Amino acid sequence: MVDVKQGEKGPEVTLSRTHPAFVKMLFALEVPEIKERVVDIVGIAREPGARTKLSVRTHRAGVSAKGALIGPQGSRAQNVMNELNGEK
């Protein structure tokens, strides 16, 4: 959600599938380590419709930040890619 304004017929909500925070929230819903604050997404670079690159870090020894986002056999990353219509 990028913006909320009062319109003639009530509130108007502006949504953006291209905003970097959208990808961050999708991963937060999919990856429990982000919810538990074990892994942080530090930066996001997007080419909407093509690909997204993330930089991540961990706060706990023995936890792979990259592995947490990718998930077992790529399942977590695949679920996010499906929500973005196949965007890598």
Q: Is residue 3 part of a domain?
A: no
Residue 1 has pLDDT above 80, yes or no: no
Q: What tokens appear for 21 in the block?
A: 């925070």
d(CA 52, CA 49): 9
The residue type at 61: A
**For the chain, how are helix, strand and coil distributed in percent, rounded to 5?**
40, 30, 30
Task: Enter the pTM of the model.
Answer: 0.78
User: Phi/psi of residue 26, each to 5°?
Assistant: -60, -45
For residue 38, the enclosing domain spans: 18-83
Q: Identify the pLDDT of residue 88.
A: 81
Q: Is residue 5 part of a domain?
A: no
Q: Is residue 11 part of a domain?
A: no
Q: Is residue 8 part of a domain?
A: no
Residue 74 has pLDDT above 80, yes or no: yes
Residue 14 has pLDDT above 80, yes or no: yes
Residue 20 has pLDDT above 90, yes or no: no
Q: Is residue 26 part of a domain?
A: yes
pLDDT tens digit sequence for 23-57: 899 999 999 999 999 999 999 998 878 888 999 99
Q: Give the CATH number, domain containing residue 59.
A: 3.30.300.20
Domains contained in the chain, number? 1
Q: Is residue 9 part of a domain?
A: no
